[in-house]
Amino acid sequence: MSRSKLWAGLIVLFGAGVLTGILGARLYIDAERMPRGDRGPAARHERIMKRLTQELSLTAQQQTEIDPIVTWAHVAILELRFSHQPEIEDILAKGMTDIKAKLSSAQQAELDRMYAELQQRWQTSRDYLAAKKKDVMP
């Protein structure tokens, strides 16, 4: 009787592990498929300000004074990044051409989808940059 209880317990434990793994994988996959708008440049700016506010215990006045500086630095970094964007895209296009030669047609289509998502993120950053350029300190 005790041997059957041991086996039953092991089976239940194994089943619980399998279910936990399935649930965890499902949650991870769902999180990866969520739109990345909440991770874009505007959200990045908000996270920087939140972290500075929390870790430095900024007052409301300090937050008001520091926010334009963070915006200016963020815009300057994006401008630098986009000034090199043509070079980045040339390198990426060569790499993708080389990778595609090693892939099946289905994999090539998936790679094209991934690249389209990357281009959309770049466009979101460009749009953010254009909107913030007029707000930046001289």
pLDDT digits (tens, 9 = 90+) for 88-130: 889 988 998 999 999 999 999 999 999 998 888 888 888 888 8
Q: Is the pLDDT of residue 47 over 90?
A: no
Expressed as residue numbers, the domain containing 91 is 38-133
- Considering the domain architecture, whether residues 14 and 57 belong to the same structural domain is answered as no
* CA 6 – CA 54 distance, rounded (Å): 51
Indicate whether 138 belongs to any domain: no
Question: Which of 54 and 37 is assigned the larger pLDDT?
Answer: 54
- Considering the domain architecture, whether residues 6 and 64 belong to the same structural domain is answered as no
- Considering the domain architecture, whether residues 101 and 73 belong to the same structural domain is answered as yes
- Considering the domain architecture, whether residues 15 and 76 belong to the same structural domain is answered as no
Indicate whether 76 belongs to any domain: yes
Q: Is the pLDDT of residue 76 over 60?
A: yes
- Considering the domain architecture, whether residues 68 and 111 belong to the same structural domain is answered as yes
pLDDT tens digits along 110-121: 999 999 988 888
Structural domains in the chain (count) = 2
The region of weakest confidence among 1-5, 28-32, 52-56 is 28-32
pLDDT band at 33 (very low <50, low <70, confident <90, very high): low
- Considering the domain architecture, whether residues 55 and 42 belong to the same structural domain is answered as yes
- Considering the domain architecture, whether residues 7 and 57 belong to the same structural domain is answered as no
Q: Is the pLDDT of residue 136 over 60?
A: no
- Considering the domain architecture, whether residues 12 and 49 belong to the same structural domain is answered as no
Q: Do residues 17 and 102 lie in contact, with contact meaning Cβ atoms separated by under 8 Å?
A: no
Q: Is the pLDDT of residue 35 over 80?
A: no
Indicate whether 1 belongs to any domain: yes
- CA-nearest of 114, 93, 92, 111 to 103 is 111
pTM: 0.56
